[in-house]
Amino acid sequence: MKIVILDGYTINPGDLTWEGLEALGELTVYDRTPAEEVAERCSGAQLVLTNKAKVSGDTIKKLPDLKYIGELATGYDNIDIKEAAFRNIPVCNVPGYSTMSVAQLTWALILELVCKTSQRSGEVYDGAWVKSKDFCFGHAGLFELQGKKLGLIGLGQIGSAVAAIGQAFGMEIIANVRNPQKYTIPGVRFVSREECFREGDIVSLHSPLTDETRQMVNAALLSTMKPSAMLINTARGALINEKDLADALNNNRIAGAALDVLSSEPPVKDNPMFTAKNCIITPHIAWATIEARQRLLGESIENIKAFLNGKPRNVVNKI
């Protein structure tokens, strides 16, 4: 059984072990795979695992030995699941492995926007406190979260964890989901997407990237937000029209944004978010705690074992 990992470095930069996968077959791990080399590197493999490397329909057609595709993540928009299903190849992802890690960074970004800790620390190290006429400085813009509205777009495992933390801060939680009747979360009020953006003091995105949600955050939706409102994205960069968001920030139509994801990754150097005011950007690290990566690898191994036993689990395409 030949197993190929197309982009293993982000999952395991050296602090985890591949032993569990090596026990299942002949394992080849590539740190990174350029798009033009995906088909060649997968040739002859029965099992292919990918994190962000694209496994297109054309690639799948060139791989007659391929029996299984493992998504080393929760989102699977980098795989042509329809072509895989047509060829009776299950695509299996790993849901829920990073829930608390993503929720943790979401709140780190919110608190950084609200409390401005790194900005104030930088000012202190630049000598502003030494030169201050008063015992403290930097009051402007600080506010409490208690009593404010947290708007959530999506309320899956991550959104629910973010909501629970928001409730611990004493915030009112509003959420936009496709089927509100499926949720039984005390204290959450379900509203339309437009209401969520209009009412939210902080709006956080936790929805998957689909044709419907792609660039859903655009100039029209941003124009409905409060001037004091802030936008958080730890989901998918392409949920946002980045030029529209940059314009909203630079023209003070909203107060701030914090993004762990961008529309293309790595981003191009002239991405409009790099020149936007009051914007924090982190390099897609919300999922990447060592605990989350350990769970991801462990669950990926269990997915393969289930497939080999004839009972595949976490299948995202209908076979």
Instruction: Identify the pLDDT of residue 183.
Output: 87
Cβ atoms of 300 and 47 within 8 Å: the answer is: no
Q: What is the mean pLDDT of the chain?
A: 96
Q: Which of 144, 194, 265, 291 is catalytic?
A: 265
Does 159 score more than 80 pLDDT?
Answer: yes
Sign, CA dihedral 268-5-307-287, equals negative
45 and 31: one domain? yes
Q: Which of 198, 284, 293, 295 is catalytic?
A: 284
Helix and strand element counts for the chain (H, E)? 11, 12
Does 127 score more than 80 pLDDT?
Answer: yes
Q: Tokens for 212?
A: 């419907």
* Residue 314 covered by a domain: no
Q: 31: domain CATH number?
A: 3.40.50.720
Instruction: Identify the pLDDT of residue 75.
Output: 87
* Residue 115 covered by a domain: yes
User: Coil, strand or helix: which one is 51?
Assistant: coil
Cα separation, 158 vs 225, in Å, equals 23
Q: Is 284 a catalytic residue?
A: yes
Q: Centre a 10 Å sphere on the Cβ of residue 8 and count the other Cβ atoms it contains.
A: 24
Q: pLDDT exceeding 70 applies to what percent of the chain?
A: 100
Show the DSSP H helices in 91-227 as ranges.
99-115, 117-125, 157-168, 193-199, 219-222
Reported as a single tens digit per residue, the pLDDT across 197-206 is: 999 999 999 9
Give 259's strand partners.
233, 281
Q: Is 206 a catalytic residue?
A: no
Of 140, 143, 104, the residue nearest 234 (C-alpha): 104
229 and 198: one domain? yes
Lowest mean per-residue pLDDT among 100-109, 179-188, 234-243: 179-188
Q: Which amino acid is at 200?
A: G
Q: Which of 193, 206, 236, 253 is catalytic?
A: 236
Instruction: Identify the pLDDT of residue 275.
Output: 97
Give the CA angle between residues 263, 264, 265 to the nearest 5°: 125
Cα separation, 15 vs 294, in Å, equals 10
Number of domains making up the chain: 2
* Residue 187 covered by a domain: yes
263 and 301: one domain? no
Give 27's strand partners.
3
